[in-house]
Chain A
Amino acid sequence: MQIYLPIAEVSVNAFLLLGLGGIVGILSGMFGVGGGFLMTPLLFFIGIPPAVAVATEANQIVASSFSGVLAHLKRRTVDLKMGCVLLVGGLAGAGLGVFIFNYLKSLGQVDLLVKLCYVIFLGIIGGLMFIESLNAIRKSRGNSAPPQRKKHNWIHGLPFKMRFRVSGLYISVIPPLLVGLCVGILAAIMGVGGGFIMVPAMIYLLGMPTKVVVGTSLFQIIFVTAFTTLLHATTNYTVDMALAVLLLVGGVIGAQIGTRIGTRLKAEQLRILLAALVLAVCGKLAFDLLVMPNELYSLGAVGGH
């Protein structure tokens, strides 16, 4: 069944979109990631204009994050105070990100920026995860490593300290603000929630306990992506509601199925699979940048709309 998307102005198969939403939903449920980093490139591949794909994906992430954060609120694994600090940075970052996005769109470099961001971040995160989970598997075969003590690093020397009870932390508000800011910029430019960057940053930079990390990052992501959606909708008119609805119907159902599959697999296996997936997407995008394209020319609208 073909469906005409009113904003993207292309006609695509509705079942293809439902299927894409479902598959990405299953993966995001399995791995606990938003799935934006997979969905946005997939939308590029099926011919949705990049600007529409990025803005609409932000809208879809609101739905999947909201669904996720409800479960975490029930389990009390959301640090609301930390979430709010991250959010302040995130909103500023999202505003800055949309500004950068619009500026580069007028220069015709937005595709390049989005793709470079993907290659760099997916490459780093995928590589680190891959190495770490390989080490974890190797360790679990040998004897278990002694538990590490919490290290005091330069972060603890910064001013404006604040107590975060749920996370059991007493740290400066500057690092969480900066983490939020970076993730906000990425969310606006890449059309992703940024969970795959925020989660490692919260664990390794801020030293938050793992059990509150996912819930807190989801909490922050809802508001940042909601804000991004509004900014894209009011400045670029690129949020396609019909596309978003089809994707999120597939996505929320897939996420619930994925969560069940995820509980049956071991954590190390899951992480190595996710790392392989991230590296595969990264490789495909890098390949496209390095190899001479079939068509050297591309068309764009004048005035950036």
Chain B
Amino acid sequence: MQGTPFPEWRLHMEIVSNPLFGVVLSILTFWFAKWIGGKLKWSVLNPLLLAIIFCIVILKVFQIPLESYQVGGDMISMFLGPATAVLAYSIYRQFALLKKYLIPVVCGCLAGSITSMLSAWILCDLFGLDESLKASMLPKSVTTPIAIGISEQLGGIPSVTVAIVIVTGILGSVLCPVLLKIFRIQNSIAAGIAIGTCSHAVGTTKAVELGEVEGAMSGIAIGVSGILTVLLSLLL
């Protein structure tokens, strides 16, 4: 019989509906995902992507409703705003470098951001995707906190945007080194800006491996492209 209050079931519900449940599950899955990533050193094993998959699998297997998880999950999501705001701190840390190459950096990020949004727009129309998916796709190249903000403003689905942004980042860290070779881009500034503009923080970890200038430029491009994409989305 459904809903029978047998003791084990009540205990299960007590634990699962506690705000700490969502927090603990998130921390444990992220911890485990990072541990696996560290062992295998495979760029496809992004810790965020893995943690999301583990959480979903656990919720499904134990038939825990999403609302129960989100009681604690909402507490974690509260940190999204502050986590975005502190990007200012990392932009400011690179301020001297940004000032020195201001014009090429802004031009490159602008060209990249326009290309990203325009090509996503055209391709979504071409493949006949609906408006909410299109809005979720438009901010795909920028860093997750900014992308979520844009997606919400445009009427997209934030969780779909999160998934697309992570997949884009992973694709970038795999494809960018190949693209650099094929198109013979030897200029470190151009390489760093291109990586940061098309694949945000996940790609930046790859750029850091390529060199110090590449890493710093990629980091700058995350902030500059993020800001430019927000401004561009206002025009839509």
A binds B: no
Q: Which residues of A contact B (CB under 8 A)?
A: none
